[in-house]
Structure 1
Amino acid sequence: MSVSDLFESQAQKKNVLHFAILVKMALVDGAINITEREMLVKFARKLSIAEDQVAYILEHIDAYPLPSVAFKLERLEYLYELFQMIYSDHDMDREEEAAVFKYAIGLGFTEEEAAKVIACSIRVFGKKIRFDEYLLLQEKGLKENN
């Protein structure tokens, strides 16, 4: 296995984890409805997850535990990666924003923190930024709002 194969498999594993978290968030209020299913299909495409893998994840969601994200830095990294996927088509619609809000809550942000972090991310994510720049912007935004 080459280094590039290893990287791709690690990146794909992370994408699968992101997708599984989104599925779990959709299941919080019961069964996945039609709108949520359409949103999940859209995210699966953005995360390069094949249809058969989506079906497997949906059928075996308990095999994908929510990650234990104790540190704010890790939560921001998960959101950063998700925003990269969302903005791969340079657009974020209301349904995606609602899914990201649930995702942020699932990662351990309070509702208020999630709203602030997402609002800041939406303002800046149309531009290509590195993770360290993203962190600085988030820290600045959270300090200004406290």
Structure 2
Amino acid sequence: MSFKDLYGHSEYKSNLAHFAAMATLAASDGQIGPEEQRLLDAFAHKLNISEKDYGEVMDPANKYPIEPPVSGELRLERLYDLFKIIFADHYIDHEEMILLKRYAIGLGFSEEKANDVIEKSVAIFSGKIPYEDYLYLLKH
């Protein structure tokens, strides 16, 4: 097996684990709504998840390990993807917060950093950011 084949498999495995985490968060309130389903379908396509693996991930009995990326920027991108799924129904509940924190720590964030990133992200996604932060985001 070539290095490229080995790397490609590793990348797919990481994408599959990330997709599984998104599916778990989407279903954490007991159901996957239409907007969450649309986002999951879009992420499955973006991450090149096979139909077979898609079906296995959507089976609630299956569990997938978190595959933490090396890059800090990619870790933030993974969290961003999860926030898009969570806020598809315009609401974040307590169970989703617990899963999100567990996932952030699994990605390699310290507990303190995970809390900080999650708190700021919730403010951004829920539209409850101070004007100064809004202005900063628009300018940068």
Fold equivalence (TM over 0.5): yes
Matched ranges for 1:56-67 at <5 A: 56-59=56-59, 61-65=61-65, 67=66
Task: Specify which of 114, 117, 132 is matched with residue 113 of structure 1.
Answer: 117
In structure 2, C-alpha distance between the alignment counterparts of 1:30 and 1:75, rounded to whole Å: 32
Provide the identity percentage.
Answer: 25
Q: Find the counterpart in structure 1 of residue 37 from structure 2.
A: 37
Q: TM-score, normalised by structure 2?
A: 0.57
Q: Which residue of 2 aligns with 1:46?
A: 46
Q: How far is 1:35 from its partner?
A: 1.4
Comparing both chains, which one has the higher relative contact order based on Cα–Cα distances under 8 Å and sequence gaps of 6 or more?
2
Aligned counterparts, 1:1-146, within 5 A: 1-59=1-59, 61-65=61-65, 67=66, 76=72, 79-82=75-78, 95=84, 98=87, 104-107=100-103, 108=105, 109-110=114-115, 112-116=116-120
Q: Which runs of 4+ in 1 moved over 6 A?
A: none
User: How many angstroms apart in 1 are the aligned matches of 2:85 and 2:24?
Assistant: 15
Cα separation, 2, equivalents of 1:25 and 1:55? 16
Q: 2-side partners of 1:12 and 1:40: how far apart?
A: 16
- Compute the displacement of 1:115 (Å): 4.0
Where structure 2 has 5 or more consecutive residues not aligned to the other structure, the ranges are 106-113, 125-132
Q: How many residues align?
A: 109
Q: In structure 2, how many angstroms separate the alpha carbons of the residues matched to 1:78 and 1:62?
A: 25
C-alpha distance in 2, partners of 1:37/1:61? Answer: 18
Gaps spanning 5+ residues in structure 1: where? Answer: 87-93, 124-146
Compute the TM-score of the two structures, normalised by the length of structure 1: 0.55
